[in-house]
Chain A
Amino acid sequence: MVTTTAVALAVALAAVVPQENSVTGRVVFNGIAPPAETIDMASEPHCRDAHGNAVTRQRVRVSAQNGLADVIVHVKAVRAATPAAPAAPVVLDQKGCMYVPSVLALRVGQPLVIQNSDPVLHNVHASPKKSAPFNLGQPMAGLKATRTFKAAELAVGVKCDIHEWMQASIGVFDDPFFAVTDADGRFSIDGLPRGDYEIEAWHPTLGLRTQRATVGTTVTITLGG
């Protein structure tokens, strides 16, 4: 029990205490978050029933502590050896007629697995400007397809033409120095050489913000307002 508690404490501390080779921080929201939008899923009874009758989408997800979720954070122009793109895929799921997650990030060349968990037709229509666009029909649950992007881009838009409320954003980077904020707006980017860097933070609705940060410190980035 003592060992377990110690490990848990260490993990918790690691999450909040800046490491020597990392930039950690939070993205916070400034302003009044827009109200959740109601999604009319009448055209898709399966998905409507899976959610209950009141389906909503929150384009700007703000925590009780004002943390902003779904922000892609990237440390720019890092002079360090860039490891090969991971072979492990990033998964974009279609579940309950929603993209899960709706904001994600991956490396150039890293596999993106697109899967359908719904027993209804979805199409995954991606419109990158620097890679080949694609639009895949997935009419049954359990179908999977894999794609990669050949160039960095912030961000690639993904939509389902059948369910207009389904939209996702994919950040594509040619280095590993990126993260997506969690529900409380937190992020941690490791493996950085000492120095000052420019950090960009991008949100699908709120747009882009850049600011300087020093490795080993904690940074707060404000979006909105």
Chain B
Amino acid sequence: MKCNFALVLMLLCVASTNAQSSAPDGAVLYRAACAACHGPDGRGPPPERKLSVPTPDLTDCSFASREPDADWLAVMHQGGPVRAFDASMPAFGEALKEAELQAILDHVRTMCMDRRWPRGELNLPRTFFIEKAYPEDEAVTTLSIAADQPGRIVNEIVYEKRFGPTSQIELKLPFGTQQSPLDDSWQAGLGDVTVGLKQVLHHSLQRGTIFSAGVEVQTPTGRTSSGLGSGTWVFEPLLMFGKAFTGDVFLHLLAEAELPADKTKAEREAGFGIGFGKTWTSGTWGRTWTPMLELLGGRGLESGASLELDIVPQIQISLNTRQHVLGNIGVRLPVNGSGRPTTVLFYVLWDWFDGGLFAGW
């Protein structure tokens, strides 16, 4: 036992020496600061250790890969409450330097052995219209109010579920209300339900890039007489690209096509989206503010069709302490063409993997 004690002392001395003279050793620091609760291998504490709250399995890639370093460091530095997690996770910001915390985190990142899981740094803030390349476990409800068409309101609920390291399915449920221009009566109902599949094709944390392909199938569930449905099946292949730059600046690119089964009921279209933004944080660990701008283009594939451009300025704000519930407000402004209304938009995004909707406030 004395040998073990001597070994621990020696390791701590090594850690201390390293901290002073060179890059800190994350594995040594992990053993000193984290292993008591998270286990030497990240799978949890030894059986004789009685903790009031179970610790997560750090080798589980589904858990360990999702959040960016910034969120991990916030909890390591400030303790669990900074993200509304359990208060039994202590703050190490006074005991360890930031470089030492980063070294520990770098070591923790090695515990997920499956490199297919894209890192949370590539999960860029969600815009209103450009599908992001990162697969997510999210629910988003978006409210669209046509500013120059009073009585036209659409509420869309999107449910996304990740499966495996790089895949995601999603379901879009639009609900619309529309006031008849003829007799002022209100029409309401389900719109065209869409199901989708997304697959990450490539991702690189080093380059900050992620590239995915997907397909969505829009079903003719909405009533065409109410203006809530297209009346035909529509197949939508899409390509998505995301890039994270330094300074929390990011870029989304989207290319897509809409291919209706019945060309007499809907037009074949090709479209693109370019979105970019930057995230600011209140204080070091607080609320995030992300102004973004989308440029959306669409063009009918029939000859003679013109390119229609819209811009969508918007700002996303984290709403709760855990930062897994976010709000976005923006407006879609037609740049050219006619017949497309200016639309005011709101969404509430719930990253349900991180906790309940009412947890973490």
A residues apposed to B, CB below 8 Å:
40, 42-43, 45-46, 49, 119-121, 123-125, 127, 133-141, 143, 145, 161-162, 164
- Cα separation A119 to B5 with both chains bound (whole Å): 9
Q: List 25 A-B contacts (CB under 8 A).
A: A43-B46, A43-B48, A43-B49, A49-B2, A119-B5, A121-B34, A121-B36, A125-B87, A125-B88, A127-B87, A133-B81, A133-B87, A134-B91, A135-B79, A135-B81, A136-B91, A137-B33, A137-B79, A137-B91, A138-B95, A140-B32, A140-B95, A161-B90, A162-B51, A164-B52
Are A49 and B1 in contact (CB-based, < 8 A)?
Answer: yes
- Cα separation A20 to B35 with both chains bound (whole Å): 56
- Smallest CB separation, A131 vs chain B (Å): 15
- Cα separation A165 to B91 with both chains bound (whole Å): 21
Q: For B49, give its contact among A137, A143, A162 (CB under 8 Å).
A: A162
- Cα separation A120 to B8 with both chains bound (whole Å): 9
Contacts A43-B49, A123-B90, A136-B90 known; 9 new A-B pairs at CB < 8 A: A49-B5, A119-B5, A121-B32, A121-B36, A137-B33, A139-B29, A139-B92, A145-B95, A162-B49
Q: Is B96 part of the contact surface with A, judged by Cβ < 8 Å? A: yes
Q: For A45, give its contact among B4, B80, B81, B90 (CB under 8 Å).
A: B4
- Cα separation A136 to B203 with both chains bound (whole Å): 37
Number of B residues with CB within 8 Å of any CB on chain A: 33
- Cα separation A145 to B96 with both chains bound (whole Å): 12
Q: 8 shortest A-B CB distances, which residue pairs?
A: A137-B90, A139-B33, A123-B90, A161-B88, A43-B48, A135-B90, A137-B92, A139-B32
Q: For A135, give its contact among B1, B46, B91 (CB under 8 Å).
A: B91
Are A162 and B87 in contact (CB-based, < 8 A)?
Answer: no
A139: nearest chain-B partner, CB-CB: B33
Are B90 and A164 in contact (CB-based, < 8 A)?
Answer: no
Provide the main secondary structure of the chain A interface.
Answer: loop
- B95 proximity list for chain A (CB < 8 A): 136-140, 143, 145
- A119 proximity list for chain B (CB < 8 A): 5, 8-9, 12
- Cα separation A164 to B16 with both chains bound (whole Å): 28
- Cα separation A124 to B91 with both chains bound (whole Å): 10
Interface residues of B in 1-39 (CB under 8 A from A): 1-2, 4-5, 8-9, 12, 15-16, 29, 32-34, 36-37
- Cα separation A43 to B47 with both chains bound (whole Å): 9
Q: Is B207 part of the contact surface with A, judged by Cβ < 8 Å? A: no
- B37 proximity list for chain A (CB < 8 A): 121, 161-162
- A121 proximity list for chain B (CB < 8 A): 32-34, 36-37
